[in-house]
A = this chain, B = another copy of it.
Amino acid sequence: MEFQTKIGKSTPDQIFVHGYNLTEDLIGNITLADMAFLGAKHRKPTENESKMLNAILVAICEHGFTPSALSTRLTYLGSPESVQAAVAAGLLGAGTVYLGAMEYVAEMLQKAFEKYGEDKDIKELASIIISERKENGLQLPGFGHPIHKPADPRTTKLFEISEQLGFHGKNSQLLLEIHRQFCEEKGKTITLNAVGAIGAIMADMEIDYRIVKAFAVASRAVGLVGHIVEEMEAGRKKGVGQQLFDFVEEHTDYQG
């Protein structure tokens, strides 16, 4: 019985992580985000890959009082001794509804090129994808936003950076073309949201769609630190968790 891994090994005076010497090659040389890249690709990112990835993860790290952040604060209220539980509770809502689209966009794009090859005209390919999803009753992922209209400022920024750094490849082009045709069809501009843009850029960074959402989850864990800090600083009684609980108690209409 041998459990095989490329992840890590320790000797009394050395630690190896994905083939690198942790203290010589990694600590002090790479950023935290690069460790996720290392986990996904088994190699250190290039400088541009690191910049792109940090930009992406900074973009989705924090988004205010999401249901996720509220769960973290409510959990912290009952278990202030377990910050890990508060973070975990906040991650558990990162399911199909909010962050899922990142994975679905990457999947849609990666499978499109897998199925139809690299050489098809982008306009034609976009049109095929739109038709296929319509036939199968599948929504187009990555479009629409309740607040950011007509454009999501993160999408604009991330595509600007991805062009500069050389990651504006076929996947991003295909998503933008799908978006163009979709808006044309609807007769109005529907927001191409940040989660959608990230799905395309990560596909252009050649990150497997199945692991794309795990990056977002890790980024959210970083963002939740700030929510726990605010609860600590406000103190138990004035924290958002307690206030929310009090408010609900006072405004409950019992119909039993």
Contact = CB atoms under 8 A, between A and B. Distances in A.
Contacts of A247: 1, 247
A218 B221 contact: yes
Interface in A22-72: 22-23, 26-28, 30-36, 38-40, 51, 54-55, 57-59, 61-71
A20 B32 CA distance: 21
B254 A153 contact: no
| Tally of this chain's copies | 4
A12 B229 CA distance: 27
Interface stretch (A114-122, A156-164, A168-176, A179-187): A156-164
Contacts of A147: 10-12
Given A3-B240, A9-B254, A93-B77, A232 B210 contact: yes
Contacts of A254: 5-6, 8-9, 16
B54 A81 contact: no
A3 B64 contact: no
Interface string A220-256: 0111111111101010000011011101110111111
Nearest to A30: B58
Contact of A6 (B94, B245, B256): B256
Given A70-B74, A78-B96, 11 more contacts: A5-B230, A7-B65, A12-B147, A15-B63, A15-B153, A17-B256, A35-B223, A83-B214, A83-B217, A214-B225, A218-B224
Interface of A: 1-20, 22-23, 26-28, 30-36, 38-40, 51, 54-55, 57-59, 61-71, 74-89, 91-99, 147-149, 151, 153-154, 156-158, 161, 208, 210-211, 213-215, 217-219, 221-230, 232, 234, 240-241, 243-245, 247-249, 251-256
